[in-house]
């Protein structure tokens, strides 16, 4: 296949390009990092790039939590306007296959079970609780302690920050495109992606990048809250292979299919910081008790649908991935 990879020069996109080429496909990079006019928000540029293309792998996005709503216009422009321009151009060009970078953030908080009230969905955490160091959500019915679990794709979305809202809007745009054109759209809802080539020292870098940058400066990684937040850390090469699997699979036409894309092995943020520091050679992480509004406490997903339907399996385990990440540099080093 001839595959246009938007954001193909970025962290995840560059690994997708390499994985596609290794499978014998012809990836075409569309990225402002390589060409200033290759802006996914430019209909003319996107239209030209789609000539002769069989499928699109859409990785171009502004990522990260952001800062309140101050950068909402930039997020909406890059993520939602960019996706709208892309799917409109695909409809015009007759390209009917789309795989794109979704995100686990569309769910908000993860799945929780109360011993008295069963599965519940807590609301956003209160500033007063966070200031007092009470980081765990409680049952919204009776205030009981909750047990976190795995989120399935059928869980209703509940985005808790601007970035999350834009990722959900991208899915809606892709779903409308699929219905209107009979095309096939797949959203891979990524977990916390890490690995070689992560960007460093930007407001939108992932937590693994922040920890790795601190270690490179000889500083202790600073772990927010109490370090017990549960996440699923997925190596970037496994994310790339998931994209290739989705592009090669026969997926339903006329609808959006969403797949949770995680390793299936939840770890806490504190565990990740300690593993990375140990692999790098110190210093030990420091748990600060600080927090960011809009962060969720626990979010880990059930990725069994992706394994069952597409036959994808992650290949890089957590210890191995942390050792490799400790040895490799970040983009911008």
Q: What is the DSSP string of 88-121?
A: HHHHHHT--EEEEEEEGGGG-S-EEEETTTEEE-
CA distances from 152 to 23, 102, 106, 261 (A): 30, 14, 12, 11
Predicted local confidence at residue 159, as pLDDT? 92
Quick check: helix, strand or coil at residue 326? helix
Predicted local confidence at residue 290, as pLDDT? 96
Predicted local confidence at residue 234, as pLDDT? 96
- HSE value, Cβ hemisphere, 13 Å, CA-based, for 219: 9
> What is the rounded average pLDDT of the residues 128-155?
96
Predicted local confidence at residue 199, as pLDDT? 87
Predicted local confidence at residue 203, as pLDDT? 62
pLDDT tens digits, residue range 266-293?
A: 999 999 999 999 999 989 999 999 998 8
Check: CB of residue 183 under 8 Å from CB of residue 58.
no
CA–CA separation, 24 vs 35, rounded Å? 24
**Residue 200 — very low, low, confident or very high, per pLDDT cuts 50/70/90?**
confident
Name residues whose C-beta falls within 8 Å of residue 178's C-beta, 6 or more positions apart in sequence: 98, 184, 185, 253, 254, 255, 256
Residues annotated as catalytic (active site), given as ranges: 163
pLDDT tens digits, residue range 115-135?
A: 999 999 998 899 999 999 999
Q: Which of 202, 204, 227, 206 is nearest to 285 (CA)?
A: 227
Mean pLDDT of the chain: 95
Quick check: helix, strand or coil at residue 18? helix
pLDDT tens digits, residue range 39-69?
A: 999 999 999 999 999 999 999 999 876 668 8
Predicted local confidence at residue 251, as pLDDT? 95
Predicted local confidence at residue 64, as pLDDT? 79
pLDDT at 168 over 90: yes
- CA 63 from chain centre, in angstroms, equals 8
Q: Which of 277, 286, 281 is nearest to 227 (CA)?
A: 286
Backbone angles phi, psi at 48, to 5 degrees: -65, -40
């Amino acid at each position: 296949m001839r595959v246009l990879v938007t954001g193909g020069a970025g962290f995840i996109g560059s690994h997708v390009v390499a994985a596609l080429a290794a499978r014998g496909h012809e990836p075409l990079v569309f990225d402002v990092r390589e060409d200033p006019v290759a802006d996914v928000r430019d209909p003319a540029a996107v239209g030209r790039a789609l000539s002769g293309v069989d499928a699109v792998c859409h990785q171009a996005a502004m990522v990260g939590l952001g800062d309140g709503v101050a950068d909402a216009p930039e997020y909406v422009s890059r993520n939602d306007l960019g996706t709208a321009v892309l799917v409109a151009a695909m409809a015009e060009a007759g390209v009917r296959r789309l795989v794109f970078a979704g995100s686990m953030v569309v769910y908000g908080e993860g799945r929780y079970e109360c011993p008295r009230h069963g599965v519940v969905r807590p609301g956003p955490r209160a500033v007063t609780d966070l200031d007092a160091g009470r980081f765990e959500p409680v049952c919204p019915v009776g205030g009981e302690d909750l047990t976190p679990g795995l989120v399935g794709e059928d869980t209703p979305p509940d985005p808790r920050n601007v970035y999350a809202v834009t990722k959900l809007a991208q899915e809606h745009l892709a779903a409308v495109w699929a219905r209107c054109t009979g095309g096939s759209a797949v959203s891979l809802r990524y977990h916390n992606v890490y690995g070689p080539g992560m960007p460093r020292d930007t407001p939108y870098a992932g937590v693994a990048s922040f920890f790795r940058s601190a270690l490179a400066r000889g500083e202790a990684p600073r772990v927010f809250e109490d370090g017990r937040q549960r996440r699923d850390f997925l190596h970037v090469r496994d994310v790339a292979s998931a994209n290739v699997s989705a592009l090669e699979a026969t997926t339903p036409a006329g609808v959006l299919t969403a797949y949770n894309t995680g390793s299936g092995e939840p770890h806490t943020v504190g565990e990740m910081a300690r593993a990375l520091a140990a692999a790098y050679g110190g210093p030990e992480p420091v748990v600060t008790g600080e927090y960011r509004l809009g962060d969720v406490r626990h979010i880990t997903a059930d990725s069994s649908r992706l394994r069952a339907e597409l036959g994808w399996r992650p290949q890089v385990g957590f210890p191995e991935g942390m050792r490799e990440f400790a040895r490799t540099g970040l983009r911008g080093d």
